[in-house]
Each structure stands twice: as structure tokens, then as C-alpha cells.
Amino acid sequence: MRYKLELSYFGKDFHGWQTQPNAISVQQTIEDAIEVVFRERVGIVGCGRTDTGVHARKYIAHFDSDQCFDDSFVAKLNNYLPYSIAVHNIIHVNEDFHARFDAIKRSYEYQICLTKNPFLIDYSWFVYGGLNVEKMNVAAKKLLDYTDFTSFSKLHTDVKTNNCKLVEAFFSDQGGVLIFKISADRFLRNMVRAIVGTLVEVGKEKISLDDFVKIIEAKDRGAAGQSAPAEGLFLTDVIYPTDQPR
């Protein structure tokens, strides 16, 4: 039987989602917990990678098991997992459901603190000085005119294409915290953080709107700005065809 997991996690405690040697990941932590609590080793497939330090408000994964799990699975697993991971739901799904390949839309938010706030130190990027948010939004809107985001992709990744279909990208000021929301069918590794880092340079008026467009069209990671820090980034939603209203 195949099960879908809905969970969230605080990324600072982990070296990203994906299991890797000599580092603590979210994936391995959950797999280890299931093995201890339910005496079965399962392989969990996530909806995508998140980098070291990146958070997830909503993350989707799936795994296969011959055991029949009910709602008590969530409580038992949460009792064993560290406080930085919370499993919210387990759903029995069709055998062909795939957490990664079936997703049709993913959304991220990035938080920028405009004023120093010690309570958001693990959840945002404190940017010194003022930002021209209006100009940043004009630049962000230009992203929707393009599909090739090579300029914002981590180098030497094993993907077949750097094309993504963006459906929204904008900033909103929520009382001293600037929230950047971006949604697409897929994202490249490091893409959101590279976009945010470059848009901040627009906001600081270090580069012009024309420069920003040239960066996109260059299809060269070296042309874009530095990546924004990981702690400000949150995966906030993952949508599947079955989630859409009929």
C-alpha cells in the first residue's frame, strides 16, 4: 500500500531533505523514526529537495508499506521525531501516486526583515538599508515572461532542462517583514534564493531593471547576484491534480 505524508520542518537542524552521507537530513530522520516505532524500514520519496537550512511549512512525501496505518500513526511518529519535524497527516493513496512527479505547482516564500528583529533571526534575512520594493516588484513580474532560468540555477546539476513555468512572483510588505512569494510547476536547485539575492540588488539600486532582464537572458549563473541566505526560505505549498476543484 502507498501512503502520502504531509509534514513540516525547521530547516536549521538539517542538511536539507535528502539523505546524504555524514549529515543529518529530514528524510533519513523520518525513515529512522518509522523503523524504530513501527519496526519496518521504508524508503520515503519526497516532493523535492530543499537545501541545508531551508524550512518547509508544507512538505509532501510518500512511502510503501504492507502495514495498515491509521490516524494513530501520526501521534506515534510525532512522539518519537524531534521537535523540528511535525507530521500532520497520513493518507492512503493510489499505488501510482508520486510525491515528486505528480506535483503540478509548488510555492515558496522568502522573508526579508527590514528592521532588526531577534525573534526572526532563524526565519529571515535582515537586509540593512532601504529597499525600493516597487522596483523589485516590477523586476519580479518580468520573470513571468521567461521559462529558462539557467541564470538562477546551481551549476552542474543533473536536470534535463532549466525551464520552469512561473505563475506568480511578487513582494508584499507585512509590517516590517517583506514577503516574496513565487509559484511554478517546478524549481531548479538554489533558484529561489538566487532570484531573491538578485532582486535585492535591484531594490538597493545596484542594478537596473534592464540589467535584471539581461541577467535572465544571459543564461549564466555568474551574471546573477549572490544567493540569499537559506534561513529566510520556506516551501509553503505543493499542489497535485487531485487537489484541484472539479
Q: What is the pLDDT of residues 38-55, one digit of tens each?
A: 999 999 999 998 999 999
Say whether 64 is catalytic. Answer: no
What does the pLDDT read at residue 223?
Answer: 92
Q: What is the pLDDT of residues 125-183, one digit of tens each?
A: 999 888 999 999 999 999 999 999 999 998 766 678 899 999 999 999 998 899 999 99
Q: Of 242 and 157, which is predicted with more confidence? A: 242
How far is the C-alpha of 227 from the C-alpha of 194, rounded, in Å? 4
φ, ψ of residue 154 to 5 degrees: the values are: -60, 140
What does the pLDDT read at residue 159?
Answer: 74
Active-site annotation holder among 13, 51, 96, 211: 51
CB 3 within 8 A of CB 92: yes
Q: Nearest to residue 231, comparing CAs of 124, 148, 138, 152?
A: 124
Average pLDDT of the chain is 93
What does the pLDDT read at residue 128?
Answer: 87
Q: Which helix (H) or strand (E) holds 33?
A: helix 26-38
What does the pLDDT read at residue 156?
Answer: 61
Give me the half-sphere count of Cα atoms (radius 13 Å) on the Cβ side of residue 54.
25
How far is the C-alpha of 40 from the C-alpha of 67, rounded, in Å? 9
CB 13 within 8 A of CB 84: yes
Q: Which domains does the chain have, with CATH numbers?
A: 2-93 (3.30.70.580), 105-240 (3.30.70.660)
Q: What is the pLDDT of residues 53-108, one digit of tens each?
A: 999 999 999 999 999 998 899 999 999 999 999 999 999 999 999 999 999 999 99
Please name the residue that has the C-alpha cell 513571468.
144
CB atoms under 10 Å from CB of 170, counted, come to 15
What does the pLDDT read at residue 70?
Answer: 86
Q: What is the pLDDT of residues 25-40, one digit of tens each?
A: 999 999 999 999 999 9
What does the pLDDT read at residue 158?
Answer: 67
What does the pLDDT read at residue 211?
Answer: 96
Asked if pLDDT for residue 246 goes beyond 50, the answer is no
Q: Nearest to residue 151, comparing CAs of 190, 125, 112, 181?
A: 190
How far is the C-alpha of 46 from the C-alpha of 63, rounded, in Å? 9
Grid cell listed for 205: 539600486
pTM, rounded to two decimals: 0.93
